[in-house]
């Protein structure tokens, strides 16, 4: 890719705007019908690692007409107290979505918290039941970052059927769900992690390379097949040469962009779409809650009317 060829940057902004515009329409209709969407964000302890994400969530939720409330808990809260707080939100009909921001302090088992969120309010798609749906090819509510990354790959127009895809990183929240989503789309997926003998050898075979590790410049130009699509999911803070803090991904963008046909910038790539998908998921969750409400009370309403 020549330096001037900006068209090969897979930018997240326009995709995110498209998604948010559609969410805004859905949210306006639902609100008019008496079901206003409302997202509650839970942060525990030090919030520095999620501040950017939460700030963007609030801003975009406001833009989309979705209520947004932040609940911050002290670092020394017990897992039991947090679970009780989550159960309270589960029981509150005004709350239609719950997101637990990561990381949480080490004494709190994140999986227990994730499982405490009612599956119908699990807008992150991280409850075991939600993850299970992905394995069963029910893809309308998937973990946000994974869905965002796949959405960006689709922007290339590449046919995902039979595409050789390599995913570097296999966390439950990013790498694993990406692999499942891509398998559902018909791609041939290889997943690498810290025990993989040669990440480079796998990465070089990929038509599409997804990187979600958390290590700046892990992926260099000699690890990328010429013409490949590179989706950089990493969001890492580092101090730049000017002494200022900046956000960089996991890919050495300057060198890789000379080899790849498409590359996602950081910032401005996967991040903005992640936020948009969270809001889209909030609407999917709300319609599921409405469907249950209808199934439970609709019959009684009809009988009462007769």
Ligand X SMILES: Nc1nc(=O)c2c([nH]1)NC[C@@H]1CN(c3ccc(C(=O)N[C@@H](CCC(=O)O)C(=O)O)cc3)C=[N+]21
232 binds, among ligand X, ligand NDP, none (CB under 5 to 8 A by kind): none
Which of 61, 179, 235, 284 is close enough to bind ligand X by CB under 6 A? Answer: 235
- Alpha-carbon distance of 93 to 293, in angstroms, equals 11
247 binds, among ligand NDP, ligand X, none (CB under 5 to 8 A by kind): ligand X
- Alpha-carbon distance of 50 to 227, in angstroms, equals 34
Q: How far is the CB of 114 from ligand X (least distance, A)?
A: 9
Binding status of residue 213 toward ligand NDP by CB under 6 A: yes
Which of 41, 145, 253, 281 is close enough to bind ligand X by CB under 6 A? Answer: 145
Tokens of 203: 């990465």
- Alpha-carbon distance of 270 to 187, in angstroms, equals 20
Angle in degrees, CA 242, 248, 251, rounded to 5: 125
Binding status of residue 105 toward ligand X by CB under 6 A: no
Binding status of residue 275 toward ligand X by CB under 6 A: yes
- Alpha-carbon distance of 50 to 259, in angstroms, equals 32
Tokens of 7: 């068209």
45 binds, among ligand NDP, ligand X, none (CB under 5 to 8 A by kind): none
Judge contact between 238 and 245, C-beta under 8 A.
yes
Strands 38-44 and 97-100: parallel
Which of 89, 256, 272, 277 is close enough to bind ligand X by CB under 6 A? Answer: 272
Which of 169, 180, 280, 283 is close enough to bind ligand NDP by CB under 6 A? Answer: 169
Does a cis peptide bond (omega within 30 degrees of 0) precede residue 132?
no
> Which candidate, 203, 183, 206, places its Cα nearest to that of 250?
203
**Which residues of the shown chain bind ligand X in the complex (CB under 6 A)?**
49-50, 52-53, 56, 100-102, 124, 144-145, 173, 235, 247, 266-268, 271-272, 274-275
Known binding site: residues?
169-171, 235
**Which residues of the shown chain bind ligand NDP in the complex (CB under 6 A)?**
145, 168-171, 173-175, 192-196, 199, 212-214, 233-236, 270-271, 274
């Amino acid at each position: 890719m020549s330096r001037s060829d900006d068209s090969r940057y897979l930018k997240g902004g326009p995709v995110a705007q498209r998604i948010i515009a559609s969410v805004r329409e859905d949210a306006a209709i639902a609100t008019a019908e008496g079901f206003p969407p409302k997202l509650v964000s839970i942060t525990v302890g030090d919030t520095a690692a999620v501040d950017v994400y939460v700030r963007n969530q609030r801003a975009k939720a406001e833009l989309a007409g979705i209520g947004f409330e932040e609940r911050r808990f002290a670092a020394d809260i017990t897992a039991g107290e947090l679970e009780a707080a989550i159960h309270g939100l589960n029981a509150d009909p005004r709350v239609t979505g719950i997101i637990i921001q990561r990381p949480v302090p080490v004494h709190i088992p994140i999986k227990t918290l994730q499982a405490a969120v009612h599956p119908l309010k699990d807008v992150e798609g991280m409850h075991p039941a939600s993850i299970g749906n992905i394995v069963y090819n029910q893809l309308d509510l998937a973990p946000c970052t994974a869905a965002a990354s796949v959405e960006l790959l689709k922007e290339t127009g590449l046919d995902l059927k039979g595409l050789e895809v390599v995913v570097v990183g296999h966390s439950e929240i990013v790498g694993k769900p990406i692999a499942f989503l891509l398998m559902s789309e018909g791609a041939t997926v290889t997943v690498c992690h810290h025990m993989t003998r040669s990440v480079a050898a796998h990465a070089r075979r990929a038509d599409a390379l997804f990187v979600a590790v958390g290590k700046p410049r892990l992926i260099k130009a000699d690890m990328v097949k010429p013409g490949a699509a590179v989706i950089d999911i990493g969001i890492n803070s580092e101090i730049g040469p000017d002494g200022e803090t900046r956000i960089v991904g996991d890919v050495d963008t300057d060198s890789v962009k000379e080899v790849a046909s498409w590359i996602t910038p950081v910032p401005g790539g996967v991040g903005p779409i992640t936020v948009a998908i969270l809001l889209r998921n909030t609407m999917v969750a709300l319609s599921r809650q409405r469907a249950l409400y209808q199934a439970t009370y609709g019959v009684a309403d009809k009988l009462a009317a007769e």
